[in-house]
Chain A
Amino acid sequence: MHSLNEMRHQFRSAYEESQHHIKVVIGLGTCGIAAGGEKIWEAVSRYIETHGAEVEMMSTGCIGMCYAEPLMEVHMPGQPRFIYGNVKPEAAVAILQKHLAEGKPSPEYIIAQDSRGYEAAANIVKLEETPFYQGQVKNVLGRCGIIDPDQIVQYITFSGYEALEKVLSSLTPFEVIQEISKSGLRGRGGGGFPAGRKWEASYHSPGSKKYVVCNADEGDPGAFMDRSVLEGDPHSLLEGMAICGYAIGADEGYIYVRAEYPLAIKRLKKAIRDAESMGLLGNNILGSGFSFKIQIAAGAGAFVCGEETALMHSIEGKRGMPRVRPPYPAQSGLWGKPTNINNVETYANVPGIIRQGAAWFASMGTENSKGSKVFALTGKINRTGLAEVPIGISLRDIVFKVGGGIQNGKRYKAVQIGGPSGGCIPESLLDTPVDYDSLLQLGAMMGSGGLVVMDEDTCMVDVARYFLHFTQEESCGKCAPCREGTMRMLQILEKICDGKGTPTDLDTLESLCRVVQSTSLCGLGQSAPNPVLATLRYFRSEYEAHIYDKKCPAGVCVELLDIKIDADKCKGCTLCADVCPVGAISGERKKPHVIDADKCIKCQACMVKCKFGAIAKG
Chain B
Amino acid sequence: MCDCSEHVQDMRYVALDKMLDKYRDSNGKIIPVLQETQDIFGYIPEDAIKTIAETLRIPSSEVYGVATFYGQFHLQVRGKNIVRVCTGTACHVQGSGKILEKINKSLGLSAGKMTTDDLLFTVEPVACLGACGMAPVIMINEDAYGRVSPDDVPEILARYQEKDGEVKCIA
Contacts and interface: CB of A to CB of B under 8 A. Distances in A.
Interface of A: 30-31, 33-36, 66-67, 69, 218-224, 227, 259-262, 297-303, 314-321, 335, 376-380, 384-386, 416, 419, 450, 452, 454, 458, 466-467, 470, 474, 476
Given A297-B31, A379-B135, 12 more contacts: A66-B132, A222-B88, A222-B128, A223-B130, A299-B70, A300-B71, A301-B73, A315-B28, A318-B28, A416-B89, A419-B89, A466-B89
Interface of B: 27-32, 34-35, 62, 65-66, 69-73, 87-94, 126-135, 137, 142, 144-147
A62 to B, nearest CB: 8
B28 A317 contact: yes
Given A219-B127, A379-B89, A320 B133 contact: no
B18 to A, nearest CB: 20
B53 to A, nearest CB: 13
Cβ-closest 9 pairs across A and B? A66-B133, A301-B71, A221-B88, A34-B146, A300-B70, A378-B90, A317-B28, A301-B72, A221-B128
B89 A67 contact: no
A273 B75 CA distance: 34
A79 B35 CA distance: 48
A230 to B, nearest CB: 10
B130 A227 contact: yes
A31 B133 contact: yes
A378 B73 contact: no
Nearest to B125: A473
A317 B30 contact: yes
Contacts of A224: 128, 130-133
A35 B147 contact: yes
18 contacts: A35-B134, A221-B91, A221-B92, A222-B89, A224-B130, A227-B130, A297-B31, A299-B31, A300-B34, A302-B69, A315-B28, A319-B65, A376-B133, A379-B94, A384-B132, A452-B93, A452-B132, A476-B69
A34 B137 contact: yes
B98 to A, nearest CB: 10
A300 B35 CA distance: 8
Contacts of B87: 221, 470
A318 B151 CA distance: 42
A303 B127 contact: yes
A450 B89 contact: yes
B130 to A, nearest CB: 4
Contacts of B72: 259, 299-301
Given A34-B137, A222-B132, A450-B132, A298 B32 contact: yes
A517 to B, nearest CB: 21
Contacts of B142: 262
B127 A470 contact: yes
A260 B127 contact: yes
Given A260-B126, A315-B28, A378 B66 contact: no
B89 A30 contact: no
Contacts of A378: 89-90, 93, 132-133, 135
Contacts of A297: 31-32
A116 B94 CA distance: 37
A221 B129 CA distance: 8
A476 B69 CA distance: 8
A379 B133 contact: no
A321 B62 CA distance: 13
Contacts of A221: 87-92, 127-128, 132
Most chain A beta-carbon neighbours within 10 Å: one of B31, B73, B133, B145: B133
Contacts of A301: 70-73, 126-127
